Chain A
Amino acid sequence: LFSFFQNLTAAKTLTREDLDPMMAKMREHMINKNVASDVADHLCQSVTESLTGSKLGKFTSLMKTIKQNLEPSIRKILTPRTSTDLLRDIFSAQNSGRPYTITFVGVNGVGKSTNLSKICFWLLQNNLKVLIAACDTFRSGAVEQLRVHVRNLGAVHPGSTVELFDRGYGKDPAGIAKDAISYAANGGFDVVLIDTAGRMQDNEPLMRALAKLVTTNNPDKIIFVGEALVGNEAVDQLTKFNQALKDFSGVREPRQIDGIVLSKFDTIDDKVGAALSMTYTTGQPILFVGTGQTYTDLRRMNVKSIVNSLLAK
């Protein structure tokens, strides 16, 4: 793909004319890795700006220079700016004698309930008492799905405490979450994991309902679950979930997404661009990467390997 770039080896001052065709290739390369168009544009623009007028060393290829320039920006976007140590936060809540609450949000079918269950598995391994609140009261089978997980999780961690809090279907999720949290506080649970129904970011009634759940319960963490398969929609999903939390909250200091779970990372080979689109759009860290359908398929993000995949042919 980049072979003809290698020819430009003479020392010279780079002009836009030199850069434009190659940045167009670079842009297409990133899009092929499933980076959202907008995000690829922004990155390429800033590389063009920083390289225009600079001198190209005699024996360096332009493509190599472009990649060298791009690499630190990509790494910076992917590298978390805030702490990703959930356990520390949970222990600190534990010390003050209250349950730590996490809400999982996202569009339909991305893996909210499954990755919630994987995180529950991990919390149980850390000897924490977990309550799962079934606040998807809409999608068929959503409650039973969690019930099966709670049963399985209890079986693989004998002696641990994991329970389902559910009120069936059709009820107000915000109210169920509230009841679950007080049930957890009274019952000595350490963590409440709140599952919510999938919703399209444009669906105003459903987005309002989510904002209400958040405002009513003010969870410690709002985790957005996004799938690594998603293309350009990644940007719109995250932007509009944040926007809805802001617009529909009715409070002065509305909450925003605090972190991301990047699911289905095992289904995309080297097309890892969604990781970049999501972190670029929110500035929030990817807390976990979902790498399969079993409880142990949960990883920390490896920034270096994502950067490498993005830049590799």
Chain B
Amino acid sequence: MVLADLGRKINNALKSLTAESVIDEAVLDNILREICAALLESDVNVKLVQNLRKNIKQIVNFEELGRGVNKRRLIEKSIFDELCRLVDPGVEPYKPKKGKANIIMFVGLQGAGKTTTCTKLAYHYQRKGWKTCLIAADTYRAGAFDQLKQNATKAKIPYYGSYTENDPAVLAAEGIEKFKKEGFEIIIVDTSGRHKQETALFEEMMQIAEAAKPDHYIFVMDGTIGQAADGQARAFRDAVPIGSIIVTKLDGHAKGGGAISAVAATGSPIIFIGTGEHIHDLDPFKARPFVSKMLGMGDIGGLIET
């Protein structure tokens, strides 16, 4: 499972709490060292890890703690809360409205998994009874239209694209007009990969956005990304109002900590994770249940209510 390894390490660190007869600053420091090391090994942003350590040290301030305070519980709870903060921006995920056209635009770095995930998401909505379609507005990458076309055909999802039009904004506008007329409810727009260092690509994204007027932007992040995640995520957030995140490629060994850093950078929730190349390989994601599961519900479950 995603982050399972990290969960095990953090859990072990927490278990060592039970073994200690006296819980003091040194014990806390030890636990924090282990947890921070585990987070860094999972590619969580260095600054976020530093903040997490600082916040916990502030909450569990041994000099100011009253005699009656259950230190073990306090430490556990502060760790749980900080981990939740890492993956839970505290905003409600976007909900499409029935009976109207909901336009969803995918953005992200090159090769992150946008095109693949577009079809997965379309398939997800289609199965739930929404009238769903796809627009291929990547005119940059070789074979991009064929890729989307083949995926959409396999999933029996209507699509729009062109081999000759080379302005993605025009394509998006045309496709949306057509599908709106036909009464589609979920219109997903795929765009090409881009990165913050190339301004022309970001300008193109803004032009597509202007033409498509999306109700919702989904930022797709590769689950194997490292410390560059934060800077890229911030740049995307500054350019378009990202609404949610999908983390891909979590079927392998990756723990997804880099991609998780995008939650803090964008203030947006992770709504799905990609767990394979096939159309079914998309799992819904909910932050708080995820953290409690990661920490092993049994030990920490009681803390969620407090």
Chain A residues within 8 Å of B, Cβ to Cβ: 28, 31-34, 37-38, 107-111, 113-114, 117, 138-149, 152, 200-203, 227-234, 236-237, 240, 264, 266-269, 271, 273-274, 292-293
Contacts and interface: CB of A to CB of B under 8 A. Distances in A.
A271 B112 CA distance: 18
A230 to B, nearest CB: 5
Question: Range of interface residues on chain B?
Answer: 35 or more
A108 B255 CA distance: 16
A149 B141 CA distance: 10
A34 B226 contact: yes
Interface in B27-53: 37, 40-43, 46, 50
B132 to A, nearest CB: 18
B197 A233 contact: no
Nearest to B196: A267
Contact of B252 (A33, A201, A266): A201
Nearest to B112: A109
Contact of B249 (A108, A152, A273, A293): A108
B235 to A, nearest CB: 10
B225 to A, nearest CB: 5
B226 A273 contact: yes
A28 B46 contact: yes
B111 A141 contact: no
B147 A140 contact: yes
Interface in B136-192: 140-151, 154
A231 B226 contact: yes
A202 B249 CA distance: 12
B281 to A, nearest CB: 11
B150 A34 contact: no
A269 B113 contact: no
B226 A107 contact: no
B228 A268 contact: yes
Contact of A34 (B37, B142, B151, B228): B228
Contacts of B197: 266-267, 269
A232 B43 contact: yes
Among B141, B228, B253, chain A packs the most CB atoms within 10 A around the CB of B228
Contacts of B229: 229
Contacts of A202: 251-253
B257 to A, nearest CB: 8
Nearest to A138: B277
B202 to A, nearest CB: 12
B146 A145 contact: yes
B147 A229 contact: no
B222 interface: yes
Given A140-B147, A230-B225, A232-B43, A145 B141 contact: yes
A308 to B, nearest CB: 18
B99 interface: no
Contact of B232 (A138, A231, A267): A267
Contacts of B209: none
